[in-house]
């Protein structure tokens, strides 16, 4: 029997889904966090930026200028609404689609784009796969390609914060597929027992590459799993930036005040492929995608702002022009950066480079001086 597909938006209310914004942009005033107008506008601009940035980076990948990209189209509210709740001193342990969190926390665009190119603008000098951003100044840890490994790491970092007695909170992101990994259960159990200041965020976007969420778990929801580990589990409309902000900010405050961990399932949808190397038409139906397009997080929040007279079509046009110009300038700057020095292959890995590696480096120097480059297609 074929597995059931990802749950559609209809009928979710009976599963305890937290939602502030209705499809027409009106809000449930009893749940609305009533953010200041300038904060609302900032959230919208951040989501616009992330969407336009994804569009530009996918274009670069299709042109062969970068090797790999994982877009967050359709998930902007889950990324922006949650990351906006953290303070500068907090830590972020991301999965694949939280690069927007690094940008929101102040990561320079040149550095971000340089990581996709793997050149000298990249702080890791090409040592990490594209999309594996790390930014020490913003406490943004690089994701790991093995699924779920960041969960116990994040819980451990939160435990360290608790032992130090500071007020740091850790955000631990994961996808729905990560909840099938042992690291998820280890991290959840440790967090439940020792109650460190961690907020565990599952972006349930329906698909773990080509595996639907219905083939990942027999539970009615993912959020309900939190009960077994002794912590609150909250299911949130991940396409509603106000619901995400309200739920995550409450969880962050709870963690910061010593109340322990919270697990949140952000129900959203991955509108494009898992990555630039994936063709989702091979495993999911177009009608499902169309249904979720009608729940677009950016469109819904725009309607809310228009209702409150906080935004206009002219402001949006101006914002998109400014965003486009900023991205274009950063791309030009990042592309102009030279390749990392050949010595960085080993000298940024070892404190004292072993003699055999120095000898190998000497062997390849002439080829690189002559302009030689490694060949072969990107594996993912």
Q: Which residues are catalytic?
A: 270, 274, 283
Strand 262-267 versus strand 233-237 pairing type = parallel
For the record, the structure tokens of 328 come out as 């274009």
| CA distances for 271 relative to 57, 94, 160, angstroms | 16, 19, 37
C-alpha 223/C-alpha 7 separation (Å) is 14
For the record, the structure tokens of 351 come out as 């404190």
Taking a C-beta distance cutoff of 8 angstroms, is the pair 297, 289 a contact? no
Cross-strand bridge partners of residue 231 = none
Strand 207-208 versus strand 211-212 pairing type = antiparallel
C-alpha 269/C-alpha 205 separation (Å) is 4
C-alpha 273/C-alpha 33 separation (Å) is 33
* Residue-level length of the chain: 380
For the record, the structure tokens of 268 come out as 């959203």
200-213: string of b/e by CB count within 10 Å (b at 16+)? bbbbbbbbbeeebb
Taking a C-beta distance cutoff of 8 angstroms, is the pair 294, 23 a contact? yes
């Amino acid at each position: 029997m074929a597995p059931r597909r990802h749950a559609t938006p209809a009928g979710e209310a009976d599963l305890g889904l937290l939602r502030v914004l209705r499809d027409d942009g009106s809000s449930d005033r009893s749940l609305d966090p009533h953010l200041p107008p300038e904060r609302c506008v900032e959230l919208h601009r951040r989501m616009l930026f992330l969407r336009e940035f994804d569009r530009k980076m996918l274009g670069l990948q299709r042109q062969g200028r970068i090797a790999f990209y994982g877009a967050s189209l359709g998930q902007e509210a889950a990324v922006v609404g949650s990351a906006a709740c953290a303070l500068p001193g907090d830590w972020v342990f991301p999965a694949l689609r939280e690069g927007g969190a690094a940008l929101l926390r102040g990561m320079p665009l040149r550095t971000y784009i340089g990581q996709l190119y793997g050149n000298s603008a990249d702080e890791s000098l090409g040592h990490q796969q594209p999309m594996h951003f790390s930014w020490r100044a913003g406490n943004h840890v690089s994701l790991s390609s093995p699924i779920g490994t960041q969960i116990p790491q994040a819980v451990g970092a939160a435990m360290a914060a608790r032992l130090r007695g500071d007020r740091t909170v850790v955000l631990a992101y994961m996808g729905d597929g990560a909840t099938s990994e042992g690291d998820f259960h280890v991290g959840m159990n440790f967090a439940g027992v020792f109650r460190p200041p961690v907020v565990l965020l599952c972006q349930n976007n329906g698909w773990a590459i080509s595996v639907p969420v219905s083939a990942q778990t027999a539970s009615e929801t993912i959020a309900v799993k939190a009960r077994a580990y002794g912590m609150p589990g909250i299911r949130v409309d991940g396409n509603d930036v106000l619901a995400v902000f309200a739920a995550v900010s409450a969880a962050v405050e709870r963690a910061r005040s010593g109340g322990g961990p919270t697990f949140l399932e952000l129900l959203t949808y991955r509108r494009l492929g898992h990555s630039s190397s994936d063709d989702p038409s091979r495993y999911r139906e177009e009608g499902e995608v169309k249904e979720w397009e009608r729940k677009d997080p950016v469109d819904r929040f725009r309607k809310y702002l228009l209702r409150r007279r906080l935004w206009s079509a002219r402001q949006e046009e101006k914002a998109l022009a400014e965003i486009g110009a900023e991205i274009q300038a950063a791309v030009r700057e990042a592309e102009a950066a030279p390749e990392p020095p050949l010595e960085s292959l080993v000298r940024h890995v070892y404190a004292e480079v072993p003699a055999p590696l120095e000898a190998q480096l000497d062997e390849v120097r002439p080829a690189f001086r002559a302009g030689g480059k490694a060949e072969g297609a990107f594996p993912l």
